[in-house]
Amino acid sequence: MINKFIRKILGVKKSTGNKNPLVLGPKEHGIDPKLLSNNAIRVTQTLQDAGYKAFVVGGAVRDLLLGVKPKDFDIATNATPEQTKKLFRRAFIIGKRFQIVHVMFGQDLLEVTTFRGTTLADAPKDEHGRVLRDNTFGLQHEDAVRRDFTINAMYYDPATQTVLDYHGGIADIRKKILRIIGVPEERYREDPVRMLRVVRFAARLGFNIDDATSAPIEEMAPLINNVPSARVFDEMLKLLMSGQALACLMQLRKQGLHHGLLPLLDVVLKQPVATKFITLALASTDKRIHEGKPVSPGFLFAALLWHQVLEKWTAYQAAGEYAIPALHLAADAVLEAQTDKLALQRKIGSDMRDIWAMQPRFERRTGKTPYKLLEHLRFRAGYDFLLLRCEAGEIDAEIGRWWTDFAAGDADQREALLAAKPAAGGAKKRPARRGRNRSAASTATAASGDSNE
């Protein structure tokens, strides 16, 4: 009832599709043809030469209209997946919920989808209304209705250089408004991941979210829990690697979507040192992305969850566990808790463990320990993590300077550094005890992360 009242106030109507799109020519839309991929042109032309309709669609058109070279090019056509596959030497049909075709040109992958129909009444759904499978094909205007946002529901024909706009996407791009197509509640129920996409696009593009699009999100946020964890992880990864990671996380909190994804984010960001650490980590990641440098997912998650690990590490030690075993127990607890929500891949989890496990070793600057640490496969990631901790004020900045000099120094310089620092910190050992209090230690929890190199 509340959602219906909100829709009435905001004037939201169910979209049935506009069969007559706004058609814009080159002078009206201003797309630079040089920004198009040659392979995207090749795919559309091949389909058109075979008698089918074919357009560049979705985010690629949005980026072209914004004057940005798209990273990926998706193609929409009225050819079925089987018909599309026959036209290309390296083409593969994938997908269960909706079949699509991957067309390969060397390492370049283009995704080709058949126009989707609007009939969802008979599509298999879960008990919450999420569509499980939908291979209903349709007409182009029906396909436009099925797309999520107005700015992603435009079609560009490279042959005629025209843009077809079915839902006012051009106007919304110019106003910098993110608006969902149709009734928001219905669209979020069909696919709850759309709520995460709202956040990502708004933060990445610097757009405002339409009131009607934003209104039901906080109430419907729990539906994210019904989505397969692998899909949630994939969307979270896109969000964190959008180049606007911090803005995305702030938007997640604003919309009430972080609960269950990073449930302790609110707690962490209320702690000054933790807030500074995460801010620095995400700002560093965003900078690397803008500079075209590689970014490791593991480093991102290691940074986000590090202070959860610290909290659990302290709790395990207070319960009587030795420092190093306590750190491993903390990492196990945090990774286990987050894996259920985000389906963290084993490789990412392994990288996170390495980064965390190296941190106490950086404080042991005597004997052969520093040399062995230099040879660690994840040394660079652990070292970068250490510098973030120093910059955030979590540990003495002198430790970071020492390791910077040691890593860059020659043999004599390294020996001099070791001689000048005969006993530097390190993980403190607890005195021997009659028994370990495992039951008390089991009440602690921890978190996970990864590397930036």
Tell me the per-residue pLDDT of 168-188, one tens digit each, with 9 for 90 and over.
999 999 999 999 999 999 999
Name the active-site residue from 72, 157, 234, 396: 72
Q: Are 343 and 230 in contact (CB under 8 A)?
A: yes
Tell whether 272 is covered by a domain.
Answer: no
Range of the domain at 303: 297-441
The pLDDT of residue 98: 78
Name the active-site residue from 63, 74, 165, 354: 74
Sequence-ordered list of residues with C-beta below 8 angstroms from that of 274, at least 6 positions apart, any chain: 268, 307
Sequence-ordered list of residues with C-beta below 8 angstroms from that of 430, at least 6 positions apart, any chain: 317, 320, 322, 323
The pLDDT of residue 159: 97
Residues 147-157, buried b or exposed e (16+ Cβ, 10 A)?
bbbbbbbbbbb
Q: Say if residue 95 is in the same domain as residue 117.
A: yes
Name the active-site residue from 143, 148, 165, 286: 148
Please tell me the total count of domains within the chain: 3
42-51, 118-127, 206-215, 367-376: segment of lowest average pLDDT: 118-127
Tell whether 183 is covered by a domain.
Answer: no
Confidence of residue 446 (pLDDT cuts 50, 70, 90): very low
Q: Say if residue 112 is in the same domain as residue 80.
A: yes
Q: Per-residue pLDDT tens for 193-203?
A: 999 999 999 99
Active site residue 72: yes
Q: Say if residue 394 is in the same domain as residue 424.
A: yes
Q: Are 303 and 388 in contact (CB under 8 A)?
A: yes
The pLDDT of residue 292: 87
Res 102 pLDDT > 70: yes
The mean pLDDT value of the chain amounts to: 84
Q: Of 199, 229, 257, which residue sits at a domain end? A: 257
Q: Per-residue pLDDT averaged across 144-158, rounded? A: 95
Q: Per-residue pLDDT averaged across 358-364, rounded? A: 95
Exposure of 122 in the CB half-sphere (CA atoms within 13 A): 4
SS3 sequence, 162-188? EEEECCCHHHHHHHCEECECCCHHHHH
Active site residue 74: yes
Q: Where are the alpha helices (DSSP H) in 147-258?
A: 169-175, 184-190, 193-205, 211-214, 217-220, 229-240, 245-255
CATH code of the domain in which 171 resides: 3.30.460.10
Res 428 pLDDT > 50: no
Tokens of 83: 């018909």
Confidence of residue 21 (pLDDT cuts 50, 70, 90): very high
Q: Per-residue pLDDT tens for 280-336?
A: 999 999 999 989 888 889 999 999 889 989 999 999 999 999 999 999 999 999 998
CATH code of the domain in which 349 resides: 1.10.3090.10
Identify any residues that bridge with 131 across adjacent strands, giving them in sequence order. 125
Q: Per-residue pLDDT tens for 372-385?
A: 999 999 999 999 99
Q: Say if residue 117 is in the same domain as residue 195.
A: no
Tell whether 124 is covered by a domain.
Answer: yes
pTM flag (> 0.75): no
